[in-house]
Amino acid sequence: MGTFFRPPQPNKKKRLQAILNAVHRGGQSHSSTQTTLQGSALEIWLRSRSSTFEQLENLVQRSHSPLTAGRLMGLMLALFTVVVMLGILRQINPLLLLVLAVAIASTPVLWLSRQANHRRQAFGDKLPETLDYISRAMRAGHSLTSAIGMVGKEFPDPIGHEFKTVFDEICFGISFKDAIGKLADRVQSYDLNFFVISLKIQHETGGNLTELLDGLSKTLRERVKLRGKIRTLSAEGRASAWVLGSMPFLLAGMLTLVNPGYMSLLWTTPQGQTLLLIGGGLMAVGFFLLNSIIQIKV
């Protein structure tokens, strides 16, 4: 037991705090157990009053970012304020200024969403190999909990980090069902949901877990192959989106270098600012349609 209560290393401090908080709040919902012990009074108040703040916390956790939800909101507010102040000094159209300020203030959230998606994709691509490893460990005589702990030690991030967190939560007293459910909440992967639901059913009804993991591994491996084929087939659509999306900005930059006075009419006159609003709206619609075409659910 002494090994579980050694002073935590600096790089494990945040994870240990989350685990201890989950133990103290074991009877509450999964979303509420994500509270850190060092959260400020303002963050605690926002967490209890705003579902948006909880969603930001979930996004920060899924992206494995060193930021907190409070710092993220502060960064967004600072960006919004700076853009608004500069726009007022430049006397930009209020509607255009509001759209521009919201767009720039949203960039940290978009970046974290992209990081979370990459992390989820890496997790899903490595999950079949992880299930094979757990199955082999159980055939060698290890328990399921022990096999999960071995995955946490042997596999790289994000698989290793997430399964190590599950193992630590179980060692600190959280039930297996809650710990594995929290794993699904953190990663939010369809492939992982299959694994979690299978474990929960097997935990309640019994059965041959190794055969279940082998069958699930084969199914997930086929899904990974299918996703790879879809990414290959949709590569042309993604390339078209990048080319079409970057052309207006590249052309505007080139014209600004060649003839600054000609391009300055776009943001110094009401007519030009109206054109910018219309053009930005049409580009947003185009990006949405292209993204809908190339995003194929498997």
pLDDT confidence band for 26 (50 / 70 / 90): very low
Contacts (Cβ under 8 Å, ≥6 apart) of 53: 43, 46, 47, 69, 73
Q: Which amino acid is at 97?
A: L
Give yes or no for residue 8 having a pLDDT over 80. no
- Span 119-227 CATH architecture: Up-down Bundle (1.20)
Cα separations (Å) of 272 from 35, 51, 181, 281?
47, 39, 53, 14
Q: Which amino acid is at 292?
A: S
Cα distance between residue 261 and residue 246, in whole Å: 22
pLDDT confidence band for 4 (50 / 70 / 90): very low
For a pLDDT cut of 90, what percent of the chain falls above it? 9
Better pLDDT: 40 or 207:
207
Question: What is residue 263's predicted lDDT score, i.e. its pLDDT?
Answer: 81
With CA atoms as reference, report the closest residue to 92 among 269, 242, 264: 269
Question: What is residue 32's predicted lDDT score, i.e. its pLDDT?
Answer: 39
Contacts (Cβ under 8 Å, ≥6 apart) of 36: 14, 17, 18, 21, 68
Burial 35-66 (b: 16+ CB within 10 A, else e): bbeebeeebeebbeeeeebbebbbbbbbbebe
Question: What is residue 57's predicted lDDT score, i.e. its pLDDT?
Answer: 83
Question: What is residue 82's predicted lDDT score, i.e. its pLDDT?
Answer: 92
pLDDT tens for 176-231 read 888 888 888 888 888 888 888 888 888 778 778 888 888 888 988 888 888 888 88
Give yes or no for residue 78 having a pLDDT over 90. yes
Q: Note the Cα 180 to chain centre separation in Å.
A: 18
Question: What is residue 234's predicted lDDT score, i.e. its pLDDT?
Answer: 77
CA-based diameter of the chain, in Å?
A: 76
Instruction: Name, of 37-41, 61-65, 168-172, the range with top average pLDDT.
Output: 168-172
pLDDT confidence band for 17 (50 / 70 / 90): low
| Rounded average pLDDT over 12-40 | 46
For a pLDDT cut of 70, what percent of the chain falls above it? 84
Better pLDDT: 38 or 239:
239
Better pLDDT: 11 or 225:
225
pLDDT tens for 51-60 read 777 788 888 8
What dihedral angle (degrees, nearest 10) is formed by the CA atoms of 217, 146, 182, 164?
-100
Give yes or no for residue 29 having a pLDDT over 50. no
With CA atoms as reference, report the closest residue to 37 among 52, 54, 22: 22
pLDDT confidence band for 40 (50 / 70 / 90): low
pLDDT tens for 113-169 read 988 888 888 888 889 999 999 999 988 888 888 999 999 888 988 898 889 999 999
Cα distance between residue 252 and residue 272, in whole Å: 13
pLDDT confidence band for 97 (50 / 70 / 90): confident
Give yes or no for residue 25 having a pLDDT over 50. no
